[in-house]
Structure 1
Amino acid sequence: MGSISVVLGSASPARLRVLRDAGLVPQVLVADLDEDAIVAAMGDVPPADVVTRLARAKGEAIVSSIRSDGNPSFEAARVDGVVLTCDSMLLLDGELSGKPHTPDVAIARWKRMRGKTGHLLTGHCVTRLRDGAVESVVADHRSTGVAFSDVSDETIARYVATGEPLKVAGAFTLDGLGGWLLDGITGDPSSVIGISLPLTRELLARVGVDVTDLWRT
């Protein structure tokens, strides 16, 4: 087991933690993309397509870097590897939102979210590399319902002041402080944290990789 190299194309510590807890030890490489420009260029497309296309774009950028980079640390991935990339956004009242970045935006979003149910959409892309070439690429998305608690203005302000919601899609976490402010989820919890294990397993199978071949014991 563990002969196929895994590259996670994400700066998210939560995604890395999910994969490590599930038996993978991926290398990490972060794509340098203008996501806002990519979304703007898409025009009017369904929300699921937005996150899936962003995951694909990240995969293409990561693969390009791996194939062109002379760094020997990625040589194994070039020879026999898989690249995993994701993108998450919250769909609420027909509107998609990503990371809020600033406290004012995070507070405004939480005031709209509280007491409602939204859907965390996560696009996934798996790229199979072999002998320096792209052998196959597959992508899909996972949607998970998230019920937000009807919390007070003071609670929202205290949560935003921690800084946690500024850095995550939808301005909340399931596995951190934000978990206290959720009434429940419907669907895959790993997808809400950042990367769906069931969907990733399915996509890996579609490129001819059994997830057990990636386990490190």
Structure 2
Amino acid sequence: MSTPNQPRLILASSSPRRQELIQSFGLPYIIRVSDADETVDAKVSPSELVEILSIRKASTVRDMLEAQDQDGIIIGSDTVVVYNDEVLGKPADEQDAFRMLQALQGNTHQVYSGVACVDAETGKQVVSHSVTHVRMKPMSDEQILRYIATGEPKDKAGSYAIQGIGATIVSGIDGDYFTVVGLPLSLLSDLLLTFDIQVL
């Protein structure tokens, strides 16, 4: 459980990747999955989009918590891939994954990850985002289909996972690796300082 000067973290995500990353902080944490509505006005920018959804996920979990559980800092996060001004979320099906990967191969795209921290007790909140540029190798249609056949793209923004076999199709990045994975740890540690939580 949390100590008086170090509140527990409440991760508002079912993502195994984000859960692994939050563990690396070595702080007490629990998981509370958010079922937040992810519908957002199409006119918002990618940075606004990930910040809106990060706050919404954390706030939804705050509303779900029982009174006796309102102790800790809720962390919401959202990640999107952007190429040629198109926001690429999770693919609807294998055909959609193929469309995304065919567009991304041989090109540079951007990954935006938003992070929101909400005090479960007071409702105080901070939110920010980071962006990383990712270069993807040129791929043949056959290579794309083989990657899709691994099953890895199906629940990933942009239809790939840099921390999985998808690492073999990325030739380089400019920015924070963990932004691409889905939880920018450096940014999160800065936001937690707002609540007097020091990771180091």
Same fold? TM cut 0.5: yes
SS in 2 for 1:30: coil
The residue number in structure 2 matching 1:148 is 136
The residue number in structure 2 matching 1:179 is 167
Amino acid at match of 1:137: Q
Percent identity of the aligned residues? 29
Deviation, structure 1 residue 138 = 0.3
For residues 47-76 of structure 1, give each alpha carbon's deviation from its aligned partner in whole angstroms, at most 9, with x where no partner exists. 10011101111111011001xx36xxxx4x
User: Contact 1:137 / 1:207 at 8 angstroms: preserved in 2?
Assistant: no
- Structure 2: any 5+ residue segments left out of the alignment? none
More helix by share: 1
Deviation, structure 1 residue 43 = 4.4
User: Contact 1:138 / 1:207 at 8 angstroms: preserved in 2?
Assistant: no
For residues 141-175 of structure 1, give each alpha carbon's deviation from its aligned partner in whole angstroms, at most 9, with x where no partner exists. 11011111101111100111111111111111111
Amino acid at match of 2:85: G
| 1:87 aligned onto 2:78 | yes
| 1:30 aligned onto 2:29 | no
The residue number in structure 2 matching 1:78 is 70
| 1:15 aligned onto 2:25 | no
The residue number in structure 2 matching 1:55 is 54
For residues 78-101 of structure 1, give each alpha carbon's deviation from its aligned partner in whole angstroms, at most 9, with x where no partner exists. 13x111110000011011111113
The residue number in structure 2 matching 1:111 is 102
Aligned pair in 2 of structure 1 residues 108, 27: CA closer, same or farther (>3 Å)?
Answer: same
Deviation, structure 1 residue 21 = 2.7
| Among 90, 93, 117, the residue aligned to 1:126 | 117
Q: How does 1:188-199 map to 2 (within 5 A)?
A: 188-199=176-187
Number of aligned residue pairs: 197
| Among 158, 174, 177, the residue aligned to 2:146 | 158
| Alpha-carbon separation, structure 2, partners of 1:25 and 1:182 | 33
Deviation, structure 1 residue 33 = 2.4
**Relative contact order higher in (CA < 8 Å, ≥ 6 apart):** 1
User: Contact 1:9 / 1:59 at 8 angstroms: preserved in 2?
Assistant: yes
Q: CA RMSD, aligned part only?
A: 1.7
TM score, norm. by length of structure 1: 0.85
